[in-house]
Structure 1
Amino acid sequence: MAEQTLKEKTAKGLLWGSINGGIQQILNIAFGIFLARLLSPGDYGLIGMLGIFMGIATVLQDSGFSTALINRKEINHDDYNSVFWFSFSVGIICYVILFFCAPLIADFFGHPELTNLSRVLFLWFLIGSTSIAHSAMLTKKLMVKERTKIEVCSLVVSGFVGVLLAYKGFAYWGIAIQTVTHSLVGSILRWYYVPWKPTFTFALRPLKEMYSFGVKILFTSIFAQINANIFSVLLGRFYKEDQVGYYTQGNKWMTMGYTFIWSMIGNVSLPVLSEVALDVERQRQVFRKMLRFVSFISFPAMLGLALVAPELIVIGVSDKWLPCVPVMQLLCIWGAVTPISNLYTHVLLSHGKSDIYLYSTIILGLVQLIVVISMLSLGIYYMVLAFVVVNVLWIFVWHYFVNRYIKISILDVAKDILPYCFIALIVLCITYFVTKSISNIYMLFIAKILLAMFVYGIFMHLADSVIFKESFTFLVKRK
């Protein structure tokens, strides 16, 4: 593939990824505000308790084969077809098991209402299992425009359903039906936009060829889901559902910001890095440019989100959710560095090193679990703080492994990342002190955002940032 063609595909992917992420988060914010005002922390807490079961079931039905498809150099109908039937079969098996285990889940958390709630909510991953192969094709072929349409339509339809049910007094059922509707609409649209369709044949050969790579991704993803949902489980078991709700709400707003950033590059980075995996020098250059782009966006966006968190929560979802602000601010630090960690893992996956990805994630999960449990008696704030510290420091572990394959020094990475981090911190400090005297919460919220954006732009211009100029030039040309 010619250099210009790869650049064009990457640029197109980044553009549509930005559009996709932006529209999604606007919709998420809009529907999230309505739902949070209509529902209680306890309603969110009940849904949050089931997150780990949904996450693991989703991982099992995928079993790492979608990532294996994306990473595969040569791919045909049998490859997609085998993954489709495997995913659908595992989805059915997982749903049946969890359906009958629902009373046990309810007993564990001490909430009988979780029995029926979980049986409905778990339909989410069963429906989703019918379009995993289609989703892999969308990513493999960099069909980011189509993914945008799918995600936006799914969010709009499911959002209206959730808000309507919450308004009618269905409480946590509104969130559950919203989640299932999102999966249903998304699956239908993936079938519509993807030209490939499954056939009633099943070849075991493609699964065998992808098994070694896929099974490691499977176990990695299981541990990643455990890591991501450990707070909901511990809080649900040892604290009241309100505490789970506050954590879930804070994490939700952080995730909106993080998802917007990662949606710009996440669907592009693995295919592009895999494309240049045989040329170490070229891959190193691509990786470093992706690091600079992510840092340029991630640090000001996520740390800025932490800065405006008090005003955002009060204005958006009312002061009844104020206890979630400290949790949200801590998680924003994690959200700022997570895209960097993800890029490291994509380099490893582009070289087929799913075993390293697996073992490192398992060890990370065990360390997190030990540290978080040790903080259990101190409360949720210190648990989240410990979680964030461990994840930030783990970047050095990812770097150690990636350095083996693309020979990149920690100093080069620091040159790519730290300038954006330091400038973002300086800008936010300036913004905080300049706006400190503003008493009106609405004016304060707007002033913080506008001033931070303006000052950050000035700093980027004075620093003669290449990424800043390239991004600005690209957007102007697109217009």
Structure 2
Amino acid sequence: MAEQTLKEKTAKGLFWGSINGGIQQILNVVFGIFLARLLSPGDYGLIGMLGIFMGVATVLQDSGFSTALINRKGIKHEDYNSVFWFSFSVGLICYVILFFCAPLIADFFGHPELTNLSRVLFLWFLIGSTSIAHSAMMTKKLMVKERTKIEVSAMIASGIVGVVLAYKGYAYWGIAIQTVTNAFVGAVLRWYYVKWRPTFTFALRPLKEMCSFGVKILFTSIFAQINANIFAVLLGRFYKEDQVGYYTQGNKWMNMGYTFIWGMIGNVSLPVLSEVALDVKRQRQVFRKMLRFVSFISFPAMFGLALVAPELIVIGVSDKWLPCVPVMQLLCIWGAVTPINNLYIHVLLSQGKSNIYLYNTIALGVVQLLVVVSMLSLGIYYMVLAFVVVNVLWIFIWHYFVNKYVEISILDVAKDILSFCLISLIVLCITYFVTKLIFNIYMLFIAKVLLATFLYTFVMYLSGSVTFKESFTFLLKRK
């Protein structure tokens, strides 16, 4: 019965995660098309330059305690309460510091307009700090359906605000206000759906007990944010804002696909893996099943996105954004592999090995930075290529550590993921050559999508893929 319950919770989480990701990406596409047509690469570039500051501040206010809450056994009110007040206090302190540092940020990038822009945009993480404990509670309780309602509602409200402001000529302010609105609506709805409320008491004991785990997550997340935003910083410092804009736009479209895939499983994998952490054999089985499911979705989706990138960009946001296509295509390779890396990370976290997560992420960041900086003179394309190669190869490093605790061989992992990868590549190569003689861009886009989808589904059916059959059967039951 326990097994059935775990399977049912996981299946429901995956289902609502896919609904959430699907709706969000549809909205992302719709609002993204309007904004990209109304705004310039420079507008996106200015926002992109501030990404690293927002990311680091967000990590600081969380400090790894939300992950610690998800992993914690026998959790009580005072645990959530301590994390709430800690997160809000750090969020407020970070905002005040960055508010007064705004002129220095503007001087660093050489854009005076960043002073006022950053002061408004940084409200995003301050507002978000008021619902971190609520978000952790939703993840721990697998409230994926409620998260779907919250995130979709916040995206609709903020998207409308952003498009209206951009249409009225407010340029980059439209993106900034959109971001702040998203945080505000999301925070309000988390308070609505989660009935837990903080009290005016503060206990250090829960924070101390979670500190050894949380502080490692904190430093790891800081390095992860630096890694994720290193391009925007380097391009903003050494290139024009248009180059930052092209990178930001390409990364944004890639992220739509990646977010959809990881959104299905990301909110489910850590709680489920933590629940079976004491049973190594069972956890290994759960991990491999998740690995197959992610590979089944990730490789065809991300490689397919790279295939249709030229048509998607021209049709969606006009040919003024064509320079972002090569960057987007390279990043799609990274986007296909990253969900697999994330699953490895969640295994380590479920085993309480946040120290390995920390040291490994720092090592990845250092190697990544050295390689990318060495490519600085060659241009953005080679910088992104180096970034992708390092991150793809790093999967072997993650595997080395996970194997020590879950005892899973690299051959087993290869069996789980390589078939989906190779089939995706073959299907997309066939699609590329078959559709090569289609010159109408709209017909070409539709033909690529339909043919690739048909071929991949047909091959999965013929091969008797268990993952394909289970996914199809579950969808029929849901209907």
TM-score (norm. length: structure 2): 1.00
Q: Deviation digits for residues 204-255 of structure 1, max 9, x if unmatched?
A: 1000000000000000000000000000000000000000000000000000
Structure 1 residue 293: deviation in Å?
0.1
Mapped partners of 2:401, 2:72: distance in 1: 22
1:364-443 residue pairs with structure 2 within 5 A? 364-443=364-443
State the partner residue of 1:79. Answer: 79
1:248-287 residue pairs with structure 2 within 5 A? 248-287=248-287
The letter for the 1-side match of 2:444 is L
Indicate whether 1:293 and 2:293 are aligned. Answer: yes
The letter for the 1-side match of 2:35 is L
Indicate whether 1:227 and 2:222 are aligned. Answer: no
Structure 1 residue 195: deviation in Å?
1.4
Mapped partners of 2:4, 2:196: distance in 1: 28
State the partner residue of 1:42. Answer: 42
Indicate whether 1:467 and 2:457 are aligned. Answer: no
Q: Deviation digits for residues 390-427 of structure 1, max 9, x if unmatched?
A: 00000000000000001000000000000000000000
1:177-326 residue pairs with structure 2 within 5 A? 177-326=177-326
Mapped partners of 1:96, 1:2: distance in 2: 48
The letter for the 1-side match of 2:143 is M
Mapped partners of 1:140, 1:77: distance in 2: 14
Q: Which runs of 5+ in 2 are unaligned?
A: none
Mapped partners of 1:476, 1:434: distance in 2: 32
Mapped partners of 2:156, 2:29: distance in 1: 12
Q: Deviation digits for residues 74-126 of structure 1, max 9, x if unmatched?
A: 10100000000000000000000000000000000000000000000000000
Structure 1 residue 373: deviation in Å?
0.2
State the partner residue of 1:342. Answer: 342
Mapped partners of 2:15, 2:442: distance in 1: 31
The letter for the 2-side match of 1:37 is R
The letter for the 2-side match of 1:362 is I
Structure 1 residue 464: deviation in Å?
0.6
Mapped partners of 1:429, 1:364: distance in 2: 32
Mapped partners of 2:170, 2:163: distance in 1: 10
The letter for the 2-side match of 1:323 is P
State the partner residue of 2:152. Answer: 152
Structure 1 residue 264: deviation in Å?
0.4
Structure 1 residue 129: deviation in Å?
0.2
Mapped partners of 2:153, 2:385: distance in 1: 36
Mapped partners of 1:170, 1:339: distance in 2: 36
Q: Deviation digits for residues 399-458 of structure 1, max 9, x if unmatched?
A: 000000010000000000000000000000010011110010000001100000000011
Mapped partners of 1:15, 1:39: distance in 2: 35
Mapped partners of 1:286, 1:477: distance in 2: 22
Mapped partners of 1:11, 1:90: distance in 2: 36
Q: Which runs of 5+ in 1 are unaligned?
A: none
Q: What's the Cα RMSD here?
A: 0.4
Q: Percent of pairs identical after alignment?
A: 87
State the partner residue of 1:135. Answer: 135
Mapped partners of 2:127, 2:234: distance in 1: 28
Q: Deviation digits for residues 136-180 of structure 1, max 9, x if unmatched?
A: 001000000000000000000000000000000000000000000
Indicate whether 1:165 and 2:168 are aligned. Answer: no
1:107-122 residue pairs with structure 2 within 5 A? 107-122=107-122
Q: Secondary structure at the match of 2:404?
A: helix
The letter for the 2-side match of 1:182 is N
Q: Secondary structure at the match of 2:75?
A: coil
Q: Deviation digits for residues 288-343 of structure 1, max 9, x if unmatched?
A: 00000000000000000000000000000000000000000000000000000000
Q: Secondary structure at the match of 2:197?
A: coil
Mapped partners of 2:286, 2:67: distance in 1: 20
Q: Secondary structure at the match of 1:111?
A: coil
Mapped partners of 1:141, 1:398: distance in 2: 27
The letter for the 2-side match of 1:418 is L
Mapped partners of 2:12, 2:231: distance in 1: 37
Q: Secondary structure at the match of 1:308?
A: helix
Mapped partners of 1:414, 1:460: distance in 2: 17
Structure 1 residue 281: deviation in Å?
0.3
State the partner residue of 1:22. Answer: 22
Indicate whether 1:6 and 2:34 are aligned. Answer: no
Indicate whether 1:360 and 2:360 are aligned. Answer: yes
Q: Secondary structure at the match of 1:437?
A: coil
Q: Deviation digits for residues 13-50 of structure 1, max 9, x if unmatched?
A: 00000000000000000000000000000000000000
Mapped partners of 2:199, 2:267: distance in 1: 27
The letter for the 2-side match of 1:149 is K
State the partner residue of 1:446. Answer: 446
Mapped partners of 1:453, 1:426: distance in 2: 12
Indicate whether 1:102 and 2:102 are aligned. Answer: yes
Q: Deviation digits for residues 379-399 of structure 1, max 9, x if unmatched?
A: 000000000000000000000
TM-score (norm. length: structure 1): 1.00
Q: Deviation digits for residues 245-273 of structure 1, max 9, x if unmatched?
A: 00000000000000000000000000000
Structure 1 residue 462: deviation in Å?
1.2
The letter for the 2-side match of 1:474 is F
State the partner residue of 1:458. Answer: 458
Mapped partners of 1:449, 1:71: distance in 2: 40
The letter for the 2-side match of 1:265 is I
State the partner residue of 1:329. Answer: 329
Mapped partners of 1:289, 1:380: distance in 2: 37
